[in-house]
Structure 1
Amino acid sequence: MFWLTLIIGLAGIAVTLFLAGKRVLFLWNLFKSGQPAPERVASVKRDPKGDVEGQVTEVFGQRKLLKWTIPGLAHFFVMWAFFLLATVYLEAGVGLFFGLDAHIPVLQTWGPIGFVQDFIAIMCFLGLVVFSIIRIKNAPAKLDRKSRFKGSHTGGAWLILFMIFNVVWTMFFYRGVLSAMDHLGFGKAAFGSYATGKLFEGMSYDTLEILGSIGLLLHIGVALVFLVIVVNSKHLHIFLAPLNVMFKRRPNGLGAAQPVLKPDGTNLDFEEADPDEDLFGRAKIEDFTWKGFLDFATCTECGRCQSQCPAWNTGKPLSPKLLIMELRDHAFHKAPYFMATEEQQAAFTDEQKLAMEVDKPLVAEDGVIHPDVLWSCTNCGACVEQCPVDIEHIDHILDMRRYQAMIESSFPSEAGVMLRNLENKGNPWGMGEMKRLEWIEELDFEVEVIDEKIPEDAEYLFWVGCAGALEDRAKKTTKAVAELLHIAGVKFAVLGPMEACTGDPARRLGMEYLFQGMAQQNVETLNDAGVKKIVATCPHCFNTLANEYPQVGGNYDVVHHTQLLADLVDNGKLVPVTPIEENITYHDPCFLGRHNKVYKQPRDIMAKVPGVKTQEMHRCKDKGFCCGAGGARMWMEERIGKRINTERVDEALETNPDTVSTACPFCLVMLGDAINEKKSAGEAKESLEVVDVAQLLIKSIKAEVPAAAE
C-alpha cells in the first residue's frame, strides 16, 4: 500500500509542477517584459523598516481588510489557515515518503501545535460559511451597481471556497484515521482530529491503513489541484499580494503623483525628450511597468475600491476594479504577441492576432478603456485607500491620461480653456496677476507682499492659491486665515502677483510638461525669495508643494492652515469665546484627508468652538466621499449620471445641519453650488451655507459682544 500511495502521489506532484510551472514561467516573463521601474526597488532598499512594517500590518495583520469587520475577520482566519496548515501538508509529505506512522519530532508530537492546527482549520471553515452567506446575499440576480461584486467573476470564487472546504475536510479525515490508528502524535490536543478519529473506532488496522492512504492522497491531491487553479485565476493574489505590498509607493500610494520617468529612474526633462524614444504615459499595454503588470495580476476582484468610488456611485462608467480587470485581461491576451520576437510576430495569423487583441487600442470608444472611464476619475484616492493588496489605480489612470493629453491632444474640450489660462495667465480662470492682491485691500491691517526676499521676521509664506485669491467664496477663507494669523501674532508674507498656480490641475489632467514648467518656475521664485516654511489653505496646493515639488528641487516645510490653526488654538494663541449654537457636519477634502491623513486638526478646531455640535456623515474620514472637483474635474462638465457634489450634499442633509464645514476652496465651491440648487428646489433651508473651518474660528473669536453683556 505504501508504494502504491507513493507512486500515485509522485505522479500527481509531477503533473502539478509541470502545469503550475508553465503558468508561473508565463507570468514571470510577462512581468519581466514590463518597462523598468528602478525607483520601486530603490525605495525598498532605502526603507527596510517600511518593508517589514508593510508585511506585518498589511499581509499578516490584514489591516485594510479588518476595516470591513465581519468579512475581514473571515478572511483573516482563512489567510492564517493557509500559513498554519502548511505544517499539516509537511506532515502529509512525511506520511507520503516515509509511511503513515512516521513523525517529525516536536512538529508532529507537541500538543499545542496540534491544537492550533485544528483550531485554525475550524475557524477557516467558519470563515467559508461567512463568505458563502455574503455571496448568496449578493447572488448574480442581485448584482446591481450598489454591489461591490458587480462585474467580478463570482463563479471562480465559489470554486475556490469549495477547494478550501476540501482542504479542511480531507485534513480531518486523514488525521482522524491516524488518530484511530494511534499514529497521531498530538493525542487529544488535536481535538478536531481526535473527535473525527472516534468515527473510525472498531475498524481493523488493515482497513484503517487503506483509509489513511486514501485520506493522505485526497489531502495532497486537493492541494495540487488547488495550486493549478490558483495560478490560473484571480486568487493568484495569495502569492502576489506580499510582493505588491513590498513594492508599493511608500507610505500608501497616495499623495504625490509620480513624475514621468526615464528607464534609469530619473525624471524625464520635456525640453530634451524624444517622443520616438521616451514614453509620454501609456499608449499601449506593453508600455506599463512591471509593477503595473504586478498590480493587474494581484487584483482580487473584491470590489472594495468600486464600492467607495464616487464616480461609480453616481452612475458613471468608471469602476476602479473593472478598469484593473480590463487591463489585466488585455495584458494576458496580448502577452504572447508582445513577448514574441519580430520573426514570431510576423508568423501569427490574422485570427491569432484578433484573439490576442493586437490591434485593439488602449483608450478609445472601441478600446480596452473607454475615454469616459478615464476622464471620470477625480483622483480622490478612495480606491487606493481601500484596496487590501495595495493596487495603485490612480497612477495607471494618470499615465493613460498623459498619453491622451500630451500626444493625442484628446481630453474634454472645456479643460482646454483651463490649460490655456494656465499657460497665459498662470491661473485656471485667466485673470490678471494683479487680481491676486485685491483680497488684501479688504483687511484692516497690512499684509507684507514679497518683492524680492521674504522678510526676516516672517515665519511663514502664506501660499494663497488661485482659488483663495480669485474666487469670491474662497477669498473669505483667505481673509479669515490672514486675520487669525495676525491675531495670533504669527508673522507671514505673500507672493501676490509673483504667485502662480502650482500646476496641480495640469498634472492631474495629464499635461505633465505644463506642470513641470510651472513647478520649476514656482520653485525658482520660492528659492530666490528664501522661503523655508509655507502655510496653504488649498489641499491641492498643500499636496503639490509638500509632496510633488521635491521632485523638481523644491523642498519646504509645508503645513495646511487647519494644522497651523489647531496648533495655535492648543497653545492658547487663538481663543474662541463666542458660542456658535449650530449643528455642523464636516466634509473631508480628499487631498487633505486620504492623500495626506489630516483628519484630526479640523475637527479639533471645531471642538474648541463653544456651542458647536458636530455630526459626522455616514461616509467620513478615510471613507469620505469626494466633492467631485479633484483630478482636474473642477474644470470639466459632468454629463454622465448624478453630479458627485449633489450626492455628497444629499449625505450632508441627512444630518440636518445648520452649516456644512470643510477645509478646501474647491470643496467650498462644489458643495456650495449643490446646496444652492437644493435651496432653489426647496430641499434645503435657506440659512444653510458652506464655510471653511477657519471662518467658524474667526467668527467665534471676533464676534461682537452685545452692549448689555459688556
Structure 2
Amino acid sequence: MHALQIVATVVAWLVFAGAVVMAVRAGRYFVRLFRVGASDPSRFVAKGQRTATMLREILGHTRMLKWTRVGVAHWFVMVAFGALLFTIVEAFGEVSNPRFEWPVIGHWAVYGLLMELIAGLCWISIIVLIIIRQVNLPRRRSRSRFLGSTAWQAYYVEWTIFAICASIFAIRTFKIAAGDFPYPTWATPLSHAFGSIFTGMPTGTALNLVTICALVKLLVSWVWFIVIGLNLTMGVAWHRFLAFFNIFFKRNSGGALALGPLKPMTDADGKPLDFEEADPEKDPFGVAQVEQFSWKGLLDFTTCTECGRCQSQCPAWNTGKPLSPKLLVLSLRDHAHAKAPYLLAGGGKDATGEEKASQEQLAGVDALALAEADRPLIGGPDEGGVIDPDVLWSCTTCGACVEQCPVDIEHVDHIVDMRRYQVLIESSFPTEAGVMLRNLENKGNPWGANPNTREDWTKSLDFEIPRVGSDEATDFEYLYWVGCAGAFDDRAKKTAKSVATLLHEAGVKFAILGEGETCTGDPARRMGNEFVFQMLAQQNVETLNEAFEGRDKGRRRIVASCAHCFNTLAREYEQLGGEYSVVHHTQLLADLVSAGKLTPVSPIEGGVTYHDPCYLGRHNRIFEPPRELIGAAAGAASGHGGPAGNGAAAGNGGPAGDGAASGLTEMPRFAERSFCCGAGGARMWMEERIGKRINVERVEEARSTGAKTIAVACPFCMTMISDGVNATKPDGVDAEDDVEVLDVATVLLRSLGK
C-alpha cells in the first residue's frame, strides 16, 4: 500500500467514526426531545396498516408526485440515497486499493449497469432540482415558495448529492483510464465516455486519482452527516430519516390526510377530553407552550423540508397575510430546539402555569435556553411571541397546506390547538368573533336570529315540508339539515328552497327539524372554542338520535346543503356518539339525475365555472357530483342532459375534459388545489384587514374564465363569492348584467325550467 492510500484510508475512517458519533448523538437527542411532547396513544394503533401506508407513500412518492417534475426527480434522488450505499462500501475499499471490486457481483455487468443508471439518473435529477430552485428563488418570483427557507442548507444538500454522483463517475472514469474496469461499454456508457477522454494517462496516475476521488466521495458523504449532526433543525436534510416516522405516525393509519374532522382536545394522557371530568390542574386546554404539542407535533416541526409547497398554496399567504404555514412550522421548530436544553433538564410548566423543575435541575441550563423558555408561544413583536396573533388568526383552515405537504405535517390541527388555548384560557381572539360565539350560546346560530324563525324560509314554497315528529314525517327517507345559513341568510335561503324543490320534484320523502335544529358548532370549533362546540354538538346528537330512533346507521340518512355542516355531521359527531349516513345535496341530486328522476331541459347561458368549497372538496374529497350536475345542466342545451364527461367529474386536478366542452370551464386552481373563498376557520365572522381580500382574489380568477355563472356548493362560499363579485364589478356594468353566483342546486333547478 502506497503512502497516499495509507493516508487516505486513515482520513476516511476517522471521518466515518466522527459521522457515526454525530449521528448517534443526534438520534438520542431527537428521541429525548420528542418524548417531552404530550402523549398521543392513537398513533400506535394499526401498525400493519401504518407500515403499508408508509411504504406506499415513500416508494410510490404519492405525495411528491402531486408536482410531477419535482416528484419524479426527487424519486430518483431518494432511490439513489439508499442504493448508492453499495458505492460507499466500494469507496472504502478503493481508498486503500484502487483496484478494489465487490466480491461476486463486482464483475457482474448487471450490477455495473444498475449503479450507472441510478447514479446517472440521480445526477440528472439533482441538476433538475437545482434549476427549479434557481428559477423560483425569491429574488426572481414574488411570494416565492422558497421565501423564508434556509438557503445555505438547501444549497449544501443539493451540491452534496451532485458531488457524490460526480465522484462515482470520476472513480469509474479513472479506472477505465487505468485499464482496470470490469464492465462492458453497453452496461456503463457514460463512464466509458468520460474514460475515453483520459486515454493514455499513466496507469499509476490513474490509480492514484481513483484513490483521491474515492476519498473525496467518502469525505463529502460523511462530512454531510457531521454537518447535519451539528444542525439539528436542518429539515431539508433530516427529513431523509424522519419522514419515515412522520408518515408512519400520521393521524389516519389508512393514509387519509389530516383533514375533515379536527382532532378532539385531549387530556394529559392523550385521551379525548371530557369537559365535565377535566382536571384544570392537570389537563391542558389547548397549547400554551411548545412542549404541550404532542410528540408527533414536535416530530412534525423537525421533519419540515422547507420546500414551501404549503406556502405556495395558502390563501392567506397569497393575499398578503402574515401567515405562511411553512414559516409557522419553522418558527415552532426553532423555538422547540432552542428551548430543548431547558426542557430536557426537566423544565416546563404544568396546566396551571407553574414551573415543574426545581432551581437545582435548571442550574446547568444555558441563559439562551432559559430566555427562550420565557417567550410566550403567542404574542406580538412587543411581547417577543413565537407566533404573532395575526398569523394565528389569518388561517381559514382550508387545508391546502396539509394537502400539499409531502411529509404529512398536520398544520391545521396545530393551529387550532393554539387557538383553543387563546380562546378558552386567555379569552384572546378577534372582537367580531366574540359576537358570533355569544350568538351561538344564546340563540343557537351565529347570526343571533330568533330560533323561532328557522322555518320561515319554507313559507313561500308551494308544497309542505314535514317536520320531524309530526304525523306527516313518520316515514321520511332523508332528514334535510338546512343549517343556520339556509334558515337565516337571504342568499342561502334560495339554495334551501332549490334543494327542497328538487327533492320534492324527484319524489324523495324528506323532513326537517325546524326549530329543533341548532348550529352544528363548526365555527366555534374552528376558532378554538371546543366547549361551545361540544355543547351544541351534544344537543344536536340527542335531537338526531331521537329523530332516528329505531333506525340503524344506514337508515339514519341526512342530506346537508352546507359543506361545513356536512363535514361536522358526517365526520365529527362520531366523536360524540352520533353516527349517521350523511350526504351533501350535490351527491344526492347527482344520484337523482343519474336515475332519471330529474331531467334538465333548459340550457345554461354564458357558461359556468365552479368553485370547490374547501370543506366539500379538499376536506372530504367530493369533487365529482357538483361537476356532474353542472355538466348535466349544461348538457341540456345540446339535448343529452346526462352527467358531465369524465374530465369534469375527475376531481383530480387535471384538465376539465369533456365537462368543459359541456359548459363547465374550470378555474386555474380547482379540485384539490382549489383556492379558498376566505370564510373557513370562523373567518366568515372576522374582518379581513390585512392584505388583499381572499374572496376578491378568487372572484378575479373566476372572472378570468369568461363564464357568466359562478356555481358554488356551500352557503359560506355563496356569501364570500357574491361579495367578491360586488367588489370587483367592472365600471359601467349593471349588477344584473354581471356574472351571477348560484348554488349548484339552483343551476340544476333552472335547467329543469323551474
User: 1:617 Cα shift?
Assistant: 1.1
Counterpart of 1:147 in structure 2 is 144
Q: 1:530-609 residue pairs with structure 2 within 5 A?
A: 530=548, 532-609=556-633
Read off the aligned partner of 1:406 and give its amino acid letter: L
Retained in 2: the 8 A contact 1:152–1:302? yes
Tell me whether 1:162 sits opposite 2:159 in the alignment: yes
Contact 1:374 1:401 in 2 (8 A): yes
Give the Cα–Cα distance (whole angstroms) in 2 for the partners of residues 349 and 11 of structure 1.
32
> Within the alignment, does 1:488 sit opposite 2:538 as a pair?
no
In structure 1, what is the Cα distance between the partners aligned to 2:385 and 2:470? 52
The Cα of 1:629 is off from its aligned counterpart by: 0.4
447-456 or 512-521, larger mean C-alpha shift: 447-456
Give 1:196's aligned amino acid.
F
1:368 aligns with 2:386: yes
- Deviation at residue 323 of structure 1 after TM alignment: 0.3
Q: Using a 3 Å threshold, how does the CA distance of structure 1 residues 631 and 177 change in structure 2: closer, same or farther? A: same
Structure 2 match to 1:289 = 294
Q: Which residue of 1 aligns with 2:335?
A: 330
| Contact kept in structure 1, 2:38 and 2:270, CA below 8 Å | no
Structure 2 residue 705 is matched with structure 1 residue 655: yes
State whether residues 315 and 694 of structure 2, in contact with CA within 8 Å, keep that contact through their aligned partners in structure 1: yes
The counterpart of 2:32, out of the listed 29, 32, 45, is 29
Instruction: Rate the CA distance shift 1:416–1:103 in 2: closer, same or farther, 3 A.
Output: same
Moved more, 156-165 or 311-320: 156-165
**Structure 2 counterparts to residues 223-242 of structure 1, below 5 A:** 223-231=221-229, 232=231, 233-234=234-235, 235-242=237-244
Distance apart, 1:65 and its partner CA: 2.6
Match for residue 478 of structure 1? 496
Q: Write the distance in 1 (CA, Å) between the matches of 2:586 and 2:507.
A: 17
> 1:585 is paired with a residue of what secondary structure?
strand
TM-score (norm 1): 0.94
Contact 1:645/1:674 (<8 A) preserved: yes
Deviation for aligned residue 1:196 = 3.3
Q: For 1:618 and 1:344, how far apart are their aligned partners in 2?
A: 60
Task: For 1:182 and 1:454, locate their aligned partners in 2 and report how far apart those are by CA, in whole Å.
Answer: 94
Aligned in 2, Cα 1:353/1:252: closer, same or farther, shift over 3 Å? closer
Q: Does 1:14 align with 2:17?
A: yes
Matches within 5 A, 1:100-249: 100-106=99-105, 108-142=106-140, 144=142, 146-181=143-178, 183-188=180-185, 189-231=187-229, 232=231, 233-234=234-235, 235-249=237-251
SS in 2 for 1:679: coil
Partner of 1:507: 525
Structure 1 position 83, deviation (Å): 2.6
Separation in structure 2 between the aligned mates of residue 442 and residue 529 of structure 1, nearest angstrom? 26
Distance 1:401 1:382 in 2: 19
Equivalence for 2:642: none
State which drifts further: 643-652 or 344-353.
Answer: 344-353
Inter-partner Cα distance in structure 1 for 2:309 and 2:403: 10
CA shift at 1:557, angstroms?
0.8
CA contact (8 A) 1:679 1:686 kept: no
Match of 1:347 among 338, 342, 363: 363
How much has 1:454 moved relative to structure 2?
9.7
Q: Relative to 1, partners in 2 of residues 1:65 and 1:452: Cα closer, same or farther, differing over 3 Å?
A: same
Distance 1:299 1:454, change over 3 A: farther
Alpha-carbon deviation of 1:392? 0.9
CA distance in structure 2 between the aligned counterparts of 1:701 and 1:318, rounded to whole angstroms: 44
CA distance in 1, matches of 2:177, 2:68: 39
Cα displacement string for residues 271-292 of structure 1 (whole angstroms, at most 9, x for unaligned residues)? 1212220011110111111110
Q: Give the residue type in structure 2 aligned to 1:627.
A: C
| Conservation of the 8 A alpha-carbon contact between 1:55 and 1:245 | no
User: Which moved further from structure 2: 452-461 or 298-307?
Assistant: 452-461
Is the contact made by 2:311 and 2:324 (CA closer than 8 Å) also made in structure 1? yes
Code of the aligned partner of 1:246? F
The Cα of 1:345 is off from its aligned counterpart by 4.7
- How many residues end up aligned between the 2 structures? 696
The reply to whether residue 358 of structure 1 matches residue 373 of structure 2 is yes
**Equivalence for 1:432:** 450
The answer for the alignment partner of 2:400 in structure 1 is: 382
Q: SS at 1:613's partner residue?
A: coil
Listed one character per residue, the Cα deviations across residues 298-354 of structure 1 (whole Å, up to 9, x for unaligned) are: 111111111111111111100001000100010110011111033555315784345
Q: 2:321 aligns with which of 303, 307, 316?
A: 316
Distance 2:181 2:471 in 1: 80
* Alignment-mate amino acid for residue 28 of structure 1: V
Q: Contact (CA 8 Å) 2:608, 2:707: kept in 1 or not? A: yes
Kindly indicate whether the alpha-carbon contact (under 8 Å) linking 1:179 and 1:187 is maintained by their aligned counterparts in 2: no
| Cα distance in 2 between the residues matched to 1:51 and 1:606 | 40
Contact residue 364 and residue 370 of structure 1 kept, 8 A = yes
The alignment's TM-score, normalised by the length of structure 2, stands at 0.88
Specify which of 262, 265, 268 is matched with residue 260 of structure 1.
265
- Residues 280 and 402, structure 1, Cα contact 8 Å, conserved in 2: yes
Residue number in structure 1 paired with 2:543: 525
Identify the range of structure 1 (585-594 vs 457-466) with the bigger mean alpha-carbon deviation.
Answer: 457-466
Gaps of 5+ in 2: 347-356, 550-555, 638-661
Give the Cα separation in 1 of the matches to 2:378 and 2:595: 53
Q: Go from structure 1 to structure 2 and tell me whether the alpha carbon gap of 1:435 and 1:94 turns closer, same or farther (over 3 Å shift).
A: farther
Q: Greater CA deviation, 197-206 or 113-122?
A: 197-206
Amino acid aligned to 2:466: E
Give distance in 1, aligned partners of 2:279 and 2:631. Answer: 55
Matched to 1:256, the amino acid is P
Flag structure 1 segments of 5+ consecutive residues without an equivalent: 704-710
- The Cα of 1:149 is off from its aligned counterpart by 1.0
Match of 1:302 among 300, 303, 307: 307
Q: 1:143·1:150 contact (CA, 8 Å) conserved in 2? A: no
- 1:445 is displaced (CA, Å) by 1.3
Report the aligned-residue RMSD.
2.2
**1:143/1:149 contact within 8 Å kept:** no
Residues 1:698 and 2:749 aligned together: yes
Q: CA deviation at 1:105?
A: 2.0
Following superposition, the deviation at residue 133 of structure 1 comes to: 2.4
Shift of 1:203: 4.2
Counterpart secondary structure, 1:76: helix
- Whether 1:270 and 2:268 are equivalent positions in the alignment is no
How many Å apart are 1:511 and its aligned residue? 0.3
Give yes or no for contact 1:480–1:695 (8 Å, CA) kept in 2.
yes
Amino acid at match of 2:314: C
Aligned letter for 1:416?
Answer: G
Equivalent of residue 729 in structure 2, options 674, 679, 702: 679
Task: Give the distance between the partners of 1:25 and 1:230, measured in 2 at CA.
Answer: 14
Residue identity opposite 1:9 in structure 2: A
**Kindly, what percent of the aligned residue pairs are identical?**
51
What SS is found at the alignment partner of 1:148? Answer: coil
Question: How far, CA to CA, are the matches of 1:382 and 1:524 in structure 2?
Answer: 33
Deviation at 1:414, TM superposition (A): 0.8
The CA distance in 1 between the partners of 2:395 and 2:603, in whole Å, is 40
Deviation per CA, 1:483-509: give whole Å up to 9, x if none: 111111111111111111111010001
Deviates more, 1:190-199 or 1:359-368: 190-199
